[in-house]
Structure 1
Amino acid sequence: MKSFNACVFAVCAVLLVSLTNAAPVDDSKNAEILKYENDNNGLGSYNFAYETSNGVSRSEQASLNNVGTENEATSVQGSYKWVDPEGHIHTINFVADENGYQPEGEDIPKAQV
């Protein structure tokens, strides 16, 4: 019985080590910046983008509309993306302007009409 318990323990230990090594790695703390761009004219317009080694990216462009009028407003459009632990890519596209923040993507529930 003693050798049976030792054998079961050894098999369980091997399985535990195998499962631990097969688990997805959370590399969010170790992500490297692969791309970074930033351009700001200081007058209300800008562009920026970045991409990291763990699949996260974002890009955004803004412009100042109706400059010098009472309707002066910034309009921003862009997108961001990430990869979940199961490997699915999620993307959100958005516009933010005088009508508010307007995101679109498969992960955003659609309103029932």
Structure 2
Amino acid sequence: MRCSFERKLLIVGRIRNGEPIYRLSREYNVHEDKIRTWVRMMARYGSDGLRRQPRTKATPDFKEGMVRKILDEGIPLSRVMIDYRVSRTALERWVSIVRKGGYEALRVIRQ
């Protein structure tokens, strides 16, 4: 279940007021890593960082650039995720595709 913008704002606000993440994670039934991401997004982009972004289709060049940052440059996936506002699931999938089939596999059109 997705959390509303208002709920994310409430949770991040409570963390900023000193409440522990593990407690809020259990109270709201949200994974601790997800809450940490919200805190980072809020710090980086303000309250807009907690809003849902419009869905856009990533180009093969964009995907390759993100995967190269992770695999070649050693930038942590979580940092790339926040810097470029890409979901963890998408990044993990792209990295997996490259590890199995190389960078050209990102250019294969799925039907």
**TM-score normalised according to structure 1 size:** 0.21
> Which has a greater percent of strand?
1
> In terms of Rg, which structure is larger?
1
**Larger RCO, structures 1/2 (Cα 8 Å, 6+ apart):** 2
> Which has a greater percent of helix?
2
**TM-score normalised according to structure 2 size:** 0.21
